[in-house]
Amino acid sequence: MISKKNKRRYLIVPGVIIAIAFIADRLFPLPHPEQTSAFSQTVTAYDGTPLRSFPSRRHIWRNPITIEQVSPHYLEALIGYEDRSFWWHPGVNPWALIRAAGQWMFHWRIVSGGSTITMQVARIIDPCDRSIIGKLHQILRAFQLELHYSKRKILTIYLNYAPMGGVLEGVDAASRAYLSKSAANLSYSEAAMLAVLPQAPSRLRPDRYPYRAQKARNKLLNRMKDRWSANIIQDALTEPVFARGIKEPMIAPLLAQRLKSQYPGQLVITSTIDADIQSTVESLLLQRARSLPNHVSCAALVMDNKTLETRAYVGSADFHDRSRENYVDMVQAWRSPGSTLKPFLYGFAIDAGLIHSESLLSDVPQSFEGYQPGNFERTFSGAVSVSEALVRSLNVPAVQVLSHYGPERFVNQLEQGGLRLKFPRGASSNLSVILGGASTKLEYLVGEYSSLARNGIAGMPRFTNDVLKQEHRIMSPGAAFIIKNILESGGPSGWATLDRHNIGLAWKTGTSFDFRDAWAIGVTDHYTLGVWVGRPDGTPNPGFFGSNVAEPLLKDIYHILPRPTEPIAKSIPANVKQEEICWPLGNAAQSELSPLCATKRTAWVLDGVTPPTFADPLRSGEPIAHYTVDVQTGLRATRACTQRLLREEISPLWPTALEPWIDQKSRRLDPPAWMSGCMPPLNANLKMEITGLRSAEILHRTLAGDALQVSLGINGAKGRVRWLMNGMLLGDADAKKGWRIKFPHPGEYAITGLDDNEHYARIMVDVE
């Protein structure tokens, strides 16, 4: 029997050992890997695909991962090859150590290391040399690890920190760098290759030494015969080892940089980006940029209308081309929007009851309190509808509507929906805003345009799901429907070009002053997308219009977007109807024989309201002419000049500024000519007259075919005269000086002169 004294000795010895271990644990605390080596910060697509990783301070690529996120094939290969007793040993496998020591003594070299996964983790968190002292140090740290952490935690550390060659650590970083896939999707062969790699990460790198990597992989596979079927192993053995060189992911790099700044301490930032859409859009922009001049860049944004999640974000055409200022994110840049704000102006004006889709507007030279807008082509079209003005992006009609709606009111309503505007220093809301007189951002435009597909509710693009939706109503569902219909199909009167029919995309282009920015913004039922093309430094690009450089790219992006399997049911809002309206008054057509209906048009009307044409600023009173005509001849007369039977008649009056552009067909309801013997009212003949050519005159060019030039004058004009040829503004000059007209080729020419009082003279000539 053991005496009491010996029992006490047997109890003291373990107690002393435990006390020594406790003191040693306190004196030499276990380092944690996060204390010495941080993870990479990674921005991913919504499905977890890495978009861009930012390395740790030591420039190590390491992606955080859990056991559940790793392929079970890899876990089986790792434990089956490295440490089959991992789940039950206390950190050290004594039989493996004894075997390794015996092999070393017999061969005088290391045949098998005998290290467990826990011991390898110990060496990762507290590196030591490969001497006997180093091995003892490693063993003690392994015991310490088992004391403090669970087996799952120890395995997780290994999965995240195991050396994988070069700057790679952890199975997920290696899987994505070498195989372009997540560690969750490894095949048996790939799992075996990555499981054996940490044994000699520099010597077994599959991108540099595929033969060595394959030989090591095959060794592991052959040791897994008791765990994997023969067919699995045979298939894995025949699979070649192939890996690309280590290359950091670089998708949506500028968005990733933006999110990194917004979430500085977050290791994994999950964006709303669709990696497939993003990659395709990037390829489209890169391809387009290569056909553009040096220094020209592009940007694009695609947003899901339902969730407001951004599916593609391309801030520059080529992130690797410094000549195009690749580091400038043009999604966030302040730029002039050109004409892209016009749809909102017309939508707001429809809601305000100022216009309907076919309201008569005047695309003619006009002055709005000193502001004289023009069109890019310096041509004017005369009488146009709202639909035509919007589809053709005419400037003067837009300024005309804004002058009635109010620029400050317009800007305030835009900003309520999230579209911020920045005016030049010292400037404020003014009429030029509708033509690009203030700056905004691509992301703001995309958010505001989404209102056309979201029943008038604008929404700011979301780049991560933890950001709440920012939504604001900016127009009624009815106004949004009308504007979208015009941009998609041209409206009920059919002002669409051929490529607008049945395409499913409503879009608007814009070009800023001096060709600095080319825009195209589009809306479908499911997506809103925007494109910008230009130079980031703001240098002009002559000849770059939204329609010729941005619009084709927008349509290319539209065609690659996935078509949802469940289409959105389309319906016309209950308060939107089609009605027949009449020009020039703008009112609803009352009857087929209305004396006030010169031209009929089909209009989208909101709430049954058919607002009249804007009041004529050059003529007061109602826009209707009252007069009397002879019952028999139909000629105009008054009771003061004839005893014949007269009847009263009325005719609509076209806006004064439009009179030079109204053709004879549209004038069919004008008052008739005066009856012989009846004099018109006093001063009626005091009108302007062009001299130097007569109307209907035929001119002949020289035999040499040189351009014909004629000097014209004008009588009865006041101040300066604006000279136009076929609607194109040639210039202006003092009324006394006249103008020299050049006829470049044969054809019919309409020559018009307008003075400061908006009086005009017009002649038609033919050149042969």
Burial of 592 (0-12, 13-18, 19+ CB in 10 A): exposed
Q: How far apart are CA 217 and CA 225, in angstroms?
A: 13
| Residue linked to tokens 């002053």 | 513
- The stretches of 201-330 forming alpha helices (DSSP H) are 210-223, 230-238, 253-262, 275-289
Phi-psi region of 586 (alpha: psi -120 to 50; beta: other; left: phi over 0): left
Is residue 131 flagged as an active site residue?
no
For 493-502, letters b (16+ CB in 10 Å) and e give bebbeeebee
Supply angle C-alpha 44, 48, 52, rounded to 5.
25
Identify which of 104, 42, 394, 48 has the alpha carbon closest to the alpha carbon of residue 250. 42
Please report, as a single letter, which amino acid is at residue 366.
Answer: Q
Residues 6+ apart with CB under 8 A from 442: 299, 301, 330, 331, 332, 333, 335, 530, 532
Catalytic residue among 82, 146, 190, 659: 82
Active site residue 339: yes
What is the C-alpha to C-alpha distance for residues 248 and 80, in angstroms, rounded to an integer?
Answer: 31
Cβ burial, residue 719 (10 Å; 0-12/13-18/19+): exposed
Compute the half-sphere exposure of residue 361: CA atoms within 13 Å on the CB side of its CA.
29
Q: Show the tokens assigned to 645.
A: 């039977």
Sign of the four-CA dihedral 564, 566, 568, 570: positive
Residue located via tokens 């044994």: 199
Tokens 């029997």 correspond to 1
Q: Nearest 5 degrees, angle CA 480-CA 482-CA 488?
A: 100
User: Counting beta carbons within 10 angstroms of the beta carbon of residue 387, is it exposed (0 to 12), middle (13 to 18) or buried (19 or more)?
Assistant: buried
Q: Rounded to the nearest 10 degrees, what angle do helices 117-125 and 151-161 cross at?
A: 60
Structure tokens at 630: 């002879």
Q: How far are the Cα atoms of 445, 460, 530, 561 from residue 467, in angstroms, in the given order?
A: 19, 10, 21, 24
Let me know: does 602 contact 493? Beta carbons within 8 Å. yes
Which of 339, 362, 451, 493 is catalytic? The answer is 339
- Give the CA angle between residues 241, 247, 248 to the nearest 5°: 130
Joined tokens for residue 9? 């000795």
Residues in the chain: 768
Write a three-state SS string for 482-550.
Answer: HHHHHHHHCCCCCCCCHHHCCCCCEEEEEECHHHCEEEEEEECCCEEEEEEEECCCCCCCCCCCHHHHH
Place of tokens 């899901």: 304
Among 611, 660, 27, 730, which residue's Cα sits nearest to residue 359? 611
Active site residues: 82, 339
